[in-house]
Structure 1
Amino acid sequence: MNTFFRAVLSPCIGICSLDDDGLCTGCHRTTAEIARWSQMNDDERLRLMETVLPERETRRR
């Protein structure tokens, strides 16, 4: 049996609700990012996790 492993896990924390700006209130991703997550490569995911999402979270505070 082949198992498929993704090195970068989803930033989803189970608080799935979109705010007025179209961002998830839990993970701060856009609907496009959420929809595309399974097709992203690890480099794209890491960029989101390490750069984009923390910046969004900081701006929202």
Structure 2
Amino acid sequence: MNARQPLPKWQPQMAGAVPSPCNSVCRIDAASGYCEGCWRTIDEIVQWARLDDGAKRAVWHELHRRAAEGATR
């Protein structure tokens, strides 16, 4: 992936409503299958509005893991 955007400043363990990780950089990298802006897959993006807060926190946890590993897939 080219110039990857940093994840927004939110941590999965924070309380309250879980914000979307979208940062309006909406391009799916063909090699990894992840959005270049938020590290989500197409399925995670499509399902986001229907997820409960626990599932959203799990997605955030996965996004931080992907970012830390460089999202090679």
Q: Under TM normalisation by the shorter chain, which class is it?
A: 0.7 to 0.9
Higher RCO (CA < 8 A, seq sep 6+): 2
Runs ≥4 residues deviating over 6 A: none
Aligned residues: 55
The structure where helix makes up a greater share of residues is 1
Q: Structure 2-normalised TM-score?
A: 0.69
Q: Which runs of 5+ in 2 are unaligned?
A: 1-15
Percent identical pairs in the alignment equals 35
Q: Which runs of 5+ in 1 are unaligned?
A: 1-5
- Of the two, which has the highest radius of gyration? 1
Aligned-residue CA RMSD in angstroms? 1.6
